[in-house]
Structure 1
Amino acid sequence: MRDAYSNTAARVALAASLRSASANGTSVDRAGGGALYQDALILVHAGTITDGTHTVDVQESDNDSTWTPVAAGQLQGSKPALVAADSGKVLAIGYRGIRRFLRVSVSVTGATTGGTYGAIVLLGSPRTASAVRA
């Protein structure tokens, strides 16, 4: 099948939560469920941001333990720095790298009450589609 439902999988990368401090999200395995996904789209959904700057970073790993920031040349779009004006927005970052594992990290500065937001990694274009819905 060549439809979005059959060829994509969504994974929680940063659970939606009220944050006033920096945090690392959950690891996303691009080879999970038996399908190696070639594409990854990181979707950051901002709820209400009351104060501070919440800078989102995308990190990659070969082994799920040593993490490095993804180079700007391997991203489509730019890493967002969420502020109050971003409340209610959905921001997208494309990943063009080759590493197996991805995670979202956020650095928070100048926050007392913080903001509510989360991130999902949408995986697509599996090399083998036998286990896509896993």
Structure 2
Amino acid sequence: MRDLMNNITPKVVIAPPAAAATDNTAQVGSIVDVAGYDSLTFIIATGTLADADATFAVLVEEGAASNLSDAAAVDDKDLIGTEALAGFTFAADGAARKIGYKGGKRYVRLTVTPSGNTGNAPLSAIALLGHPRSAPTANPPA
């Protein structure tokens, strides 16, 4: 009953940086294939954010093409939480944010875009796939 581990698959979508971003370049996550799972939550983790006025906007996109050539912003009704609540400012050192997807498309992607950033901005993100149609899930994750 209390087993979450065998019912999730984590995927790194924005890897922890070797060197933190020091400009406004969007951090575009890997495309997540949700086939075989009934839920997806993105978890964003920050390090020490050096810029004193930077903001970080979150965008979730979906599509039917595996390369997301048909990417479109996810409608708010297909998100659990909001992109605004998943976003953050320079004050979110060592913080975590989350946003869920409940839409019907097979492929989903997360992007975090800084603005006003001139300092180090280390961040990473994990896609947490849940409610697998076949459990237990593999460990280590495939």
TM-score range, shorter chain: 0.7 to 0.9
Cα distance 1:99–1:70, how it changes in 2: closer, same or farther (>3 A)?
Answer: same
Aligned to 2:30: 26
Equivalents in 2 of 1:2, 1:87: separation in Å?
31
How much does 1:81 deviate?
Answer: 2.4
User: Which one-letter code corresponds to 1:127 in the other structure?
Assistant: R
Of 106, 124, 134, which residue of structure 2 is paired with 1:118? 124
Q: CA, structure 1 residues 115+37, in 2 after alignment: closer, same or farther (shift >3 Å)?
A: same
Give yes or no for the alignment of 1:9 onto 2:15. Answer: no
Contact persistence 2:87–2:97 (CA under 8 A): no
The percentage of aligned residue pairs carrying the same residue is 32
> What is the CA–CA distance in structure 2 between the aligned matches of 1:114 and 1:56, rounded to whole Å?
18
Please report how far the alpha carbon of residue 2 of structure 1 lies from its aligned counterpart in structure 2 after TM superposition. 7.2
Q: Secondary structure at the match of 2:14?
A: strand
Structure in which a larger fraction of residues adopt strand? 1
* Alignment correspondent of 1:54: 56
What is the aligned length? 129
Q: Give the CA deviation at 1:114.
A: 4.1
Deviations 1:66-103 (A, max 9, x none): 21111111111122222121111111111111111111
For structure 1, the residue ranges without an aligned partner over 5 or more in a row are: none
Match of 2:40 in 1: 40
TM-score in terms of structure 2 length: 0.82
1:102 equivalent in alignment to 2:108: yes
Any runs of at least 4 consecutive aligned residues in structure 1 with deviations exceeding 4 A, and if so which? none
Give me the TM-score of the superposition, normalised by structure 1.
0.86
